[in-house]
Amino acid sequence: MNYELKYGCNPNQKPAKISIDGELPIEILNGKAGYINLLDALNGYQLVRELMQATGLPAAASFKHVSPAGAAIGLPLNETLKKMYFVEDGIELSPLACAYVRARGADRMSSFGDFVSVSSKVDMSLAGILHHEVSDGIIAPDYDEDALELLKTKKRGNYTIIRMDENYVPAPIERRMVYGITFEQGRNDLHIDEDMLKTIVTENKTIPESAKLDLLIALITLKYTQSNSVCYAEGGQTIGVGAGQQSRIHCTRLAGGKADFWHLRQCPKVLELPFRPDIPRANRDNAIDLYLSDEECGDVLDEGKWQNFFTVRPEIFTREEKRAWLANYTETSLASDAFFPFSDNIERAYRSGVRYVAQPGGSVRDEDVIKACNEHDMVMVFTGMRLFHH
């Protein structure tokens, strides 16, 4: 069975389609799915399905260009996170809606125009949240009727809505063609659970249950993130994903910077920024990103520019103030899809509050990396399994 696409990755790449022997496991309920939409949808659905299987909680992911901007499980939001994620007072959030709010809130700038993947039947609570966000589409196992009708009104009726067959079992062999040559490999059906966290190689061997949960979230997220990749997680969600970098330290820096911004967004100085009431959420996200950037803060606070966002000119958030605030966070988890070749990754992770680390191990410099963890009283596990994804 085939599903014809408008074009492939780019408008010049025609014809384009997806196909399978037998019935397609997806049903397009609304809109017209594109090539990249479907890559995001199918990768994202696998991720959230595995998160739910590993944790027993509904899960959501926000995908952009075949990597997750964020992923999370359906834990309740405290008041700080509600304000940080622009969730209005008085709105009741279902566990599934909490999962998506967290997933999008991990990196709201990157999630702009995302493709949403959720593990469970979409309810009106989630549909109400999505109704106010800029998003390209959603994939889910099913939809409540009223939620489906509301989502159909997005993007002037063109919002892509996909239903996934929960009982679908893919073939054990995957194939793809590059430059006319067919590649073939077994599916990565590695099961990620707490058994992967048993080989603790550091002097500190205490991992609380909350950190185990975060490490599982980070590892499962990496399984569907373009490599090289590193993921920071905290409180039941990713808080920084570094994807597709050639150097592992660049992954760690990129994801660490996002984790730092996530922590800084919880500071009252940021939560209480005096935004004009007519400024949309996406513009607020952009302004916050500029405000937190040491290099670009002046762009948003310059005389004549701050009025574009704020009712009054905010005070500068100094580097010293940022360092003091970030020092409050010391329970972050970090996972890597391959071994750390140098201890510089640990030093950078420590600066972002990381205490718990999961990586495959197997580097000739493993002892140097372990030593660095011991110096910072960090806990590190060797999973023994690489998680490259391309």
Measured between alpha carbons, how far is 329 from 21 in angstroms, rounded to an integer? 51
Q: Which helix (H) or strand (E) holds 287?
A: helix 281-292
Q: Is 152 a catalytic residue?
A: no
> Residues near 338 by Cβ (< 8 Å), separated by ≥ 6?
227, 228, 248, 359, 360, 386, 387, 388
- C-alpha closest to that of 170 among 43, 64, 29, 33: 43
Q: Is 65 a catalytic residue?
A: yes
For residue 288, the SS3 value is helix
Q: Is 191 a catalytic residue?
A: no
**67 φ/ψ angles, rounded to the nearest 5 degrees:** -145, 145
Out of 30, 43, 228, 345, pick the active-site residue.
228
Neighbour tally for 15: CB within 10 Å: 9
Q: Are 70 and 237 in contact (CB under 8 A)?
A: yes
Q: Is 390 a catalytic residue?
A: yes
CA angle 338, 341, 344 (to 5 degrees): 115
Measured between alpha carbons, how far is 117 from 103 in angstroms, rounded to an integer? 10
The DSSP-derived string for 124-189 is: HHHHHHHHTS-EEEEEES-B-HHHHHHHTTGGGGT-EEEEE-TT----SEEEEEETTEEEEEE---
Out of 30, 37, 43, 64, pick the active-site residue.
64
Q: Which residues of 168-177 are buried (b: 16+ CB within 10 A; e: fewer)?
A: eeeeeeeeee
Measured between alpha carbons, how far is 171 from 274 in angstroms, rounded to an integer? 54
> Residues near 335 by Cβ (< 8 Å), separated by ≥ 6?
215, 218, 219, 221, 222, 230, 231, 233, 357, 358, 359
Q: Measuring CA to CA, how many Å separate 324 from each of 223, 314, 328?
A: 34, 19, 7
Which residues carry out catalysis?
64-65, 228, 390
